[in-house]
Chain A
Amino acid sequence: GENVEQHPSTLSVQEGDSAVIKCTYSDSASNYFPWYKQELGKRPQLIIDIRSNVGEKKDQRIAVTLNKTAKHFSLHITETQPEDSAVYFCAGGGSQGNLIFGKGTKLSVKP
């Protein structure tokens, strides 16, 4: 089955800097890669996703890149703000939609 590895487990940046979180996946059949933001005690919220037929996707300060050959995908947050502080999870999934999550990255943005 699918296995998703995520790095780093914690990330601390200064406000205004960029943050990059990386994930790898094992199952070449996975074709959908969402990123979720989870604030303490709340549900995971989808922030951006990418399908395997696309190499890059951007939404304002957030971008995701996918390298199918290497089975890598990354989340890039530019101009970070304190409200970006949260735990971010990557996930991989197939056509049935069940997602296998990475272990999460705790992002702290210091003002």
Chain B
Amino acid sequence: EPEVTQTPSHQVTQMGQEVILRCVPISNHLYFYWYRQILGQKVEFLVSFYNNEISEKSEIFDDQFSVERPDGSNFTLKIRSTKLEDSAMYFCASKGEQGSTEAFFGQGTRLTVV
């Protein structure tokens, strides 16, 4: 069964450093998302991406964040200058064509900022 894969599974970084979280969505999917989940809290929407551009973003997704689909298979989330409060589990998700409903989540990347 096809699945969304994320790397790395755990990333530890120094405060102020840049991190890139990587995702490989399911191959024929068209919609891509990043969510985050601070430990013990709810899953929060960050950004959606369709047709090579951001279609929607939340208040959390400020200028420190960016997304890219560099080569037609990878979907990346970059945090330019990490803060302690960026520590969370980051989930990538993808969805098929317009009208399909289920979003498939990756296994997540646990980001720890120290």
Contact = CB atoms under 8 A, between A and B. Distances in A.
Interface of A: 32, 34, 36, 42-46, 49, 51, 89, 91, 95-104
Contacts of B33: 97-99
Nearest to B98: A95
A45 to B, nearest CB: 8
B41 A103 contact: yes
A97 B42 contact: no
A51 B102 CA distance: 11
Q: Which interface class (under 10, 10 to 19, 20 to 34, 35 or more) fits B?
A: 20 to 34
A93 to B, nearest CB: 8
A94 to B, nearest CB: 9
A45 B26 CA distance: 16
Given A34-B102, A49-B102, A101-B42, A44 B91 contact: yes
Nearest to B31: A97
A96 B102 contact: no
20 contacts: A34-B102, A36-B43, A42-B107, A43-B91, A43-B105, A43-B108, A44-B43, A44-B105, A45-B105, A46-B103, A51-B101, A89-B43, A96-B48, A97-B101, A98-B33, A98-B45, A98-B56, A101-B45, A103-B41, A104-B42
A27 to B, nearest CB: 13
A90 to B, nearest CB: 10
Contacts, number: 55
Nearest to A45: B105
B80 to A, nearest CB: 22
The 10 closest A-B pairs by CB, nearest first: A98-B48, A101-B43, A43-B105, A103-B42, A97-B95, A101-B42, A97-B31, A43-B107, A98-B45, A98-B56
User: Quick one: which of B45, B50, B102 has the most chain A CB within 10 A?
Assistant: B45
Contacts of A95: 98
B45 A46 contact: no
Contact of A32 (B50, B55, B101): B101
A96 B43 contact: no
A100 B44 CA distance: 7
